[in-house]
Amino acid sequence: MALPNARRTLAGALALGVVWSGLALGGSAASAQPAPVSTAKPAAWAPCAADVLAEIPAAQRDKVSCAAYPVPLDHGKPRGATIGVQMMKRPADDQANKIGSLFINPGGPGGAGLIYSAYGSSFFQPEIMKRFDLIGFDPRGVGRSAPLKCFTTMEEADEVFGRMSSVPVTRTQIRDTMDATLDYTKSCGKVAGPLIDHMSTEDVARDLDLMRQGVGDKQLNYVGFSYGTLLGATYANIFPSKFRAIVIDGNVDPNLRTHNGAQYDRERAQGFEIALDAFLERCDAVGAKCAFSDGDPRAKFDALRDHLRTQAVTLPDGTSATYEGVIGRVSSNLYSPSSFTALAAYLQTIHDAINGVAPLSAASVSDVPLPANNQGRADVRVLADTPYEFDDSYYAVNCADKPFVRVPELFPLVAKAWERESPTFGRYQAASDLLTCASWPVPHPDRWSGPWNRKTPNPVVVVGNYYDPATQYRFAQRMAKQLGNARLISVDAFGHCILGDSAGVDTLVTDYLVNLKAPANGQVFAPNVQPFA
């Protein structure tokens, strides 16, 4: 009968940011999996499927090829059951002088990266396109690579997801979201099958090493974005001598993420708040270029947010602005500085509607695609009258990698505490992994939780933006410090990740990937375009 008091004590500790290394933070210092015997086979490249080709630029369709690469379901049993990891290759323009392959991961977790090889020019300078075969892939459980599913039909999924709120505030919303989350995790345990036990980033890193061998490379070349930075760091520490060059952009804090999921997510919420503060300050500074600049943008936003917390508002175009909808849209648009002008106009429209001011013109803003697959919903087009087509890899990976106290009832107390210090994004962040992973049906996953400081022959290049919302700049600093051999490049920029959007960074990254010239540590660059330009 002491459990309620224990819960209150533990919730208070989490609210204060205490690291509960003995409770929340299970996991060994290194993986329990044995080093597997290599079973790598050459990749069997073939024409890509028609629906895959339809998603890439027409100019790339005749260049690319695809392969379903077999990897062990359980790397501890290398000769056991296998699953197929889908890869796409965009060949180097200069095959005679090709350096090797360059693997790309877009983040997530759960980000489908198969077609990223066809979009390399969005991130890389021509010399990289010339000298490397670009390899995109859907990691295990994602997209077209044995997608992990928690439901068998859309009707089952809709019944559960329809009872959830992304920012539950009222008692009814909190109760319904907690009940639905338990139903979700129970369904995952029943439906997902044995793959759910093998979805950690360590599993993906071991897949990546086999794929490296499968394309014929002696060492790995890799670029990872967002969550893909954890994959890069994990590979560098499991296989420190087997990579040639690794670039990671939009970095996580690997040690914190794999030892204290609650504190990591609490600091993620703080990162979004830092980015929002900077957005509002920049809006105020540029004046008329920002539609939300009249008056005090910070005070206006806080008043807008607090109003929506209890009452939605109807906009001139007939749509409704809700609390969870606006928080979700703001968080999405903070990823992309090019959306700031439209976001400011949208916020001003809401402000005017709340205060009974007739707008000069209706404003709209589009959600920004994140470097993830929105828990499976951005990869696969759902056809009418078909079974469940999405994947549930996001939580499968996060709940394997990030340890949480397995007490879902803590959620209301933690959400309230985080909301006090991060008033816009605290509750929003708490309602995701902290709640779901508390009842995830894999209580003791095998995963890599360190060490992170193994010396590597070549440095890892770490890139971080000052105002990155999803992976705040301090995470990049910590990543560079925790790795055994790293160079930190900083960018005085908004948005999540920067490759392709800062010429100075792109030049250094190209020189590193092509010539193995490591950049000097501590350099700071600017983005190509400033927001509100």
Q: Cα–Cα–Cα angle for 466, 480, 253, nearest 5°? A: 75
Inter-CA distances, 261 with 185, 256, 376, 433, Å:
18, 7, 22, 8
Q: Cα–Cα–Cα angle for 197, 200, 205, nearest 5°? A: 130
Which pLDDT score, from 0 to 100, does residue 17 have?
Answer: 36
Quick check: 230 and 452 in contact, CB under 8 A? no
Inter-CA distances, 473 with 279, 371, 414, 480, Å:
15, 17, 24, 11
- CA atoms of 117 and 61, how far apart (whole Å): 11
- CA atoms of 14 and 261, how far apart (whole Å): 11
SS (H, E, C) 296-310: CHHHHHHHHHHHHHH
Phi, psi dihedral angles at 462 (to 5 degrees): -110, 130
313 Cα distance to chain centroid? 31
Which pLDDT score, from 0 to 100, does residue 389 have?
Answer: 83
- CA atoms of 201 and 397, how far apart (whole Å): 7
Number of other CB atoms surrounding residue 57 within 10 Å: 11
Which residues make Cβ contacts (< 8 Å) with residue 21, sequence separation at least 6? 259, 260
Strand 523-525 and strand 82-90: the pairing is unpaired
Tokens of 408: 């879902």
Which pLDDT score, from 0 to 100, does residue 32 have?
Answer: 43
- CA atoms of 403 and 391, how far apart (whole Å): 22
Q: Which residues pair with 243 in a beta bridge?
A: 220
Which pLDDT score, from 0 to 100, does residue 198 have?
Answer: 98
Phi, psi dihedral angles at 140 (to 5 degrees): -50, 140
Quick check: 417 and 452 in contact, CB under 8 A? no
Terminal-to-terminal C-alpha distance of the chain: 61
Which pLDDT score, from 0 to 100, does residue 360 have?
Answer: 57
Quick check: 122 and 241 in contact, CB under 8 A? no
Quick check: 192 and 149 in contact, CB under 8 A? yes
- CA atoms of 234 and 105, how far apart (whole Å): 13
CA nearest neighbour of 491 among 519, 520, 524: 524
Quick check: 316 and 349 in contact, CB under 8 A? yes
Which pLDDT score, from 0 to 100, does residue 365 have?
Answer: 52
| DSSP character at residue 37 | P
**Per-position DSSP letters for 434-447, written without gaps between them:** HHHHTT-S-SS---
Tokens 């005070």 belong to 299
Which pLDDT score, from 0 to 100, does residue 358 have?
Answer: 72
Tokens 């999803």 belong to 470
Full pLDDT tens readout for the chain, 533 residues: 332 233 223 233 333 333 333 334 434 444 444 444 456 899 999 999 999 999 999 999 999 999 999 999 999 999 999 999 999 999 999 999 999 999 999 999 999 999 999 999 999 999 999 999 999 999 999 999 999 999 999 999 999 999 999 999 999 999 999 999 999 999 999 999 999 999 999 999 999 999 999 999 999 999 999 999 999 999 999 999 999 999 999 999 999 999 999 999 999 999 999 999 999 999 999 999 999 999 999 999 999 999 999 999 999 999 999 999 999 999 999 999 999 999 999 999 999 999 988 765 545 555 554 444 333 333 443 344 458 888 999 999 999 999 999 999 999 999 999 999 999 999 999 999 999 999 999 999 999 999 999 999 999 999 999 999 999 999 999 999 999 999 999 999 999 999 999 999 999 999 999 999 999 999 999 999 999 98
Quick check: 479 and 217 in contact, CB under 8 A? no
Quick check: 88 and 65 in contact, CB under 8 A? yes
Buried b (16+ CB within 10 A) or exposed e, 509-533: bbebbbeeebbeeeeebebeeebbe
| Sign, CA torsion 198/432/473/367 | positive
Which pLDDT score, from 0 to 100, does residue 387 have?
Answer: 83
